[in-house]
Amino acid sequence: MSDYSETLNSLYSGRKSEKELYLHEKISCTTPTSLDIETISRAFAILGYSCEEGVKRNQGRIGTAKGPDAIRQQLGRLPNHLKNDCKIYDVGSVYCTGGDLEKTQEHLTETLTEIMDKNHFPIVLGGGHDMAYGTYTGLKKHLNKTKSIGIINFDAHFDLRNNEVEDNQVPSNSGTPFFQIAQDCTIDDSPFKYLCLGIRKDANDRTLFETAKNLGVQYIMRDTFRIQFHNEINAWINAFTNSVDHVYVTIDLDGFSSAYAPGVSAPSPMGFTPDVVLESLKTIMGSGKLKALDIAELNPDFDVDNQTAKLAASLVHYVIHNLP
């Protein structure tokens, strides 16, 4: 089964200014149902996905259920440069109990839809990358299938695993979300548009490359996903965003080099660097089509000096301060 908990205001702390100089003074904790429909100002809603069941099923290092709160703690300490009329809420966390990952994904879908129906930009903090299925379906439900959605995934992995069992059912895990999305797109005859940035051969077996080819997935290998090639990367991103109506961005922290992100489910020193991700996010936001963001796979149990949590918080900070 799936459950929900509100975020305690005390989780956000830092320097006190009484002038909202820091985000912990700006962020308000509430619930999704308590949000008002926003009609004038930019409003953000932070939602936690406190779930590690998908990582466990995918034979990864458990501990990601603690990820959302670890990011929140670091985010609250960062400076606030938002406009006074910009609003940012924390609307609590959905979490998995009894190993019922599928119910947790459904809960995430429903909550995301409610947030977006009230005109708040959702930022989901994880949690295993199985969250991507819930984020995408929540956005799709909000749009009522009337617009095309392009997925841009910053990741070393395709997460296109096809773990079929009896009756052709696919058990969810942190390695299956985009295959599940592709299946849904086939069922409702909608386009599956997926761009993955940072793919590595040492992180995906040949069947995953074959699946990506068969599904028409676009991707940039880690060897090319470097800041010195940012012009070429931006050209790929612009071509992709021009082909869809809306964009959903998902960032898997294990795509970063473990020099920057040691606290993840599947660390590797061969990952990408923050500078190329920030440059790419700038281009994506410049399209005016970004509608949802999530950050996956933080595992505080293996973090070093909160380095990975700080990276995730800085990514959130960058997006909320630069989204048009």
Q: What is the CATH number of the domain that holds 51?
A: 3.40.800.10
Is 159 annotated as a binding-site member? yes
Distance of CA 75 to the CA centre of its chain: 16
- Residue linked to tokens 């895990």: 173
Which residues, 6+ apart, have CB-to-CB distance to 162 below 8 Å? 170, 176, 179, 211
Q: How many helices (H) and strands (E) does the chain have?
A: 9, 10
Q: How confident is the model at residue 162 (pLDDT cuts 50, 70, 90)?
A: confident
Kindly report the number of other CB atoms within 10 A of residue 170's CB atom. Answer: 14
Q: Total structural domains in the chain?
A: 1
Q: Provide mean pLDDT across the span 227-244.
A: 98
φ/ψ (deg, to 5) at 181: -65, -45
Range in 14-18, 163-167, 184-188 with the lowest mean pLDDT: 163-167
Cis bond upstream, residue 255 (ω within 30): no
What is the rounded distance in angstroms from the CA atom of residue 14 to the CA atom of residue 243?
A: 42
- The residue type found at 28 is S
Please state, as a whole number, how many other Cβ atoms lie within 10 Å of the Cβ of residue 277: 22
Q: Which of 201, 206, 220 is nearest to 276 (CA)?
A: 220
Share of the chain above pLDDT 70, in %: 97
What mean pLDDT value characterizes the chain? 95
pLDDT tens digit sequence for 34-70 = 999 999 889 999 999 999 998 999 888 999 999 999 9
Question: What's the pLDDT score for residue 169?
Answer: 55
pLDDT > 90? residue 222? yes
Does 273 score more than 70 pLDDT?
Answer: yes
Tell me the residue ranges of DSSP E strands in 224-318.
246-252, 290-296
Residue 269's CB: how many other CB atoms inside 10 A? 8
172 pLDDT band (50/70/90 cuts)? confident
Q: Residue 274 belongs to what H/E stretch?
A: helix 274-286
Domain range holding 286? 2-322
Interhelix angle for 131-143 vs 101-117, to 10°? 40
Q: Which residue shows structure tokens 């956005």?
A: 139
Residue 254 counted as an annotated binding residue: yes
pLDDT of residue 166: 44
CA dist., res. 272 & res. 270, Å (int): 7
Residue 157 marked as a ligand binder: yes
Is 303 known to sit in a ligand binding site?
Answer: no
Q: Angle, to 10 degrees, between the axis of helix 274-286 and the axis of helix 230-242?
A: 40
73 falls in which pLDDT band (50, 70, 90)? very high
Element (H, E) at 91: strand 87-96
- Distant-in-sequence contacts of 270-273, Cβ < 8 A, 24+ apart: 270/156, 270/200, 270/202, 270/222, 271/156, 271/198, 271/200, 271/222, 272/154, 272/156, 272/197, 272/198, 272/222, 272/225, 272/226, 273/226, 273/227
pLDDT digits (tens, 9 = 90+) for 97-154: 989 999 999 999 999 999 999 999 999 999 999 999 999 999 999 998 778 999 999 9
| Residue 184 annotated as part of some ligand binding site | no
Residues 101, 52: Cα–Cα separation, whole Å: 9
Contact yes or no for 294/135 (Cβ under 8 A): yes
